[in-house]
Amino acid sequence: MLVHICCSVDSHFFLQRLRREFPEERLIAFFYDPNIHPYSEYRLRLLDVQRSCKRLGIPLIEGEYDYESWLQAVRGLEHEPEKGKRCQVCFDHRLQEAARQAKALGERRYTTTLLVSPLKSQQQLQASARKIDRALGTQFVFVDYRSGGGTQEQARVSKQERLYRQNYCGCFFGLAIQRAQQERFMDEMIEPITHQVLPNSIEERLQLYQRRLDLEEEGIEYTILRQRLLNYRLLQGWVRVQGEVVPSYIFTYSLLRHKRAKVRIEEIVDGVGIGNRDEVRVIDLNLLNFLARSNFSSTKELYFKGLLPQEETRIRQELGLGCYDLSPLIVLDKIPTKLEIYLDAITYTDVREKLLTRKSDA
């Protein structure tokens, strides 16, 4: 039987139950979820499904990440709520591919781990499967592992196996609606041009779960803890000198009182230009290279390559600004006498996962 997989939290428990109840079946897992956005989140969920299938000894096939065709399929349904028409089309899309894959492997029977998710409509899934089976001659296997305490058991298994627990269904549209209802900033959609791995970004989680796999292979004990933090995202920013936008690098945790400020550099103390408002600090590239032990040839190069966020925090501390500093700290090729700054950035409380080994933290 081919089992379409949506995520490890649903699949691990589902596959265990399926194996118990269909001992004669050879199970093949099929990860086909082009609905997941962004791609880094797709990689993260796949990574955890790979771990789960390996632990269960079930072969896994990765389907194509054909995001464009999924987008075409749900076109016009972007504003539908969860369990609405977009989800129906999304199920059609994924189950059809699962049924095709089953046939290509010489299997007639297929099912999906979406059936166990409490947030999905089993009726919608069955409606998709009926259409597909009529067209392809396949046989969808319906099982209800939610009832009779199944959902509670699934939660227990997911905790015990330390599976990656995502906090949105998968697509951009569902996430946008969910975050709007929560009045929460959609930081999943932000990735800096520098490709810096920002605190509690999907990329940071991807690194964490990859590192966890390495630890498991090396047989090193670890734990995953949650940590509350003040997070930050720069949405947009620029610096003008004499009316021209110049290459600039804005340090993480830089905030202006209002988004725009005209600043005069009042004095330069130990190489740091002190602005006359909003606690602005400006340093030149030479000082940055000295502090970061780097060799950037221009601010433009720094802008595209970036520093690690923890490196930026260390430099703030070396400049005597302390670890709670939110002053705008800006790198320019040269310190000007006057500048205009536009800075659209937010801070927000957030909770991230942290991987700890017995000896040190990762």
Select 18 or 87, whichever has its Cβ closest to ligand SF4.
87
Gap between the Cα atoms of 304 and 197, Å rounded: 14
Count interface residues toward ligand SF4 (CB under 6 A).
Answer: 10
Contact (CB, 8 A) for 11 and 52: yes
Q: Is 237 among the residues that bind ligand SF4 (CB under 6 A)?
A: no
Q: Which residue in the block uniquely carries the two structure tokens 């996430």?
A: 175
Contact (CB, 8 A) for 346 and 235: yes
Write down the least CB distance from residue 141 to ligand SF4, Å. Answer: 20
Which of 12, 45, 51, 86 contacts ligand SF4 by CB under 6 A? 86
Give me the sheet containing 244-246, strands edge to edge: 244-246, 222-241, 338-357, 260-269, 272-275, 281-284, 329-332, 248-250
Q: Which residue in the block uniquely carries the two structure tokens 């592992």?
A: 145
Q: Is 34 among the residues that bind ligand SF4 (CB under 6 A)?
A: no
Q: Is 51 among the residues that bind ligand SF4 (CB under 6 A)?
A: no
Select 129 or 171, whichever has its Cβ closest to ligand SF4.
171
Write down the least CB distance from residue 62 to ligand SF4, Å. Answer: 18
Which of 95, 99, 125, 170 contacts ligand SF4 by CB under 6 A? 170
* Segment near ligand SF4 (CB under 6 A); pick from 61-69, 79-87, 144-152, 294-302: 79-87
Q: Is 169 among the residues that bind ligand SF4 (CB under 6 A)?
A: yes
Residues forming beta bridges with residue 351, ordered by sequence position: 228
Which one, of 353, 35, 7, 46, lies nearest residue 205 by Cα?
A: 353
Write down the least CB distance from residue 147 to ligand SF4, Å. Answer: 21
Which one, of 218, 163, 222, 169, lies nearest residue 12 by Cα?
A: 163
* Segment near ligand SF4 (CB under 6 A); pick from 80-88, 96-104, 212-220, 279-287: 80-88
Select 168 or 249, whichever has its Cβ closest to ligand SF4.
168
Q: Is 171 among the residues that bind ligand SF4 (CB under 6 A)?
A: yes
Contact (CB, 8 A) for 110 and 1: yes
Which of 73, 90, 198, 282 contacts ligand SF4 by CB under 6 A? 90
Contact (CB, 8 A) for 95 and 4: yes
- Site residues (vs ligand SF4, CB under 6 A): 35, 82, 86-87, 90, 169-171, 173-174
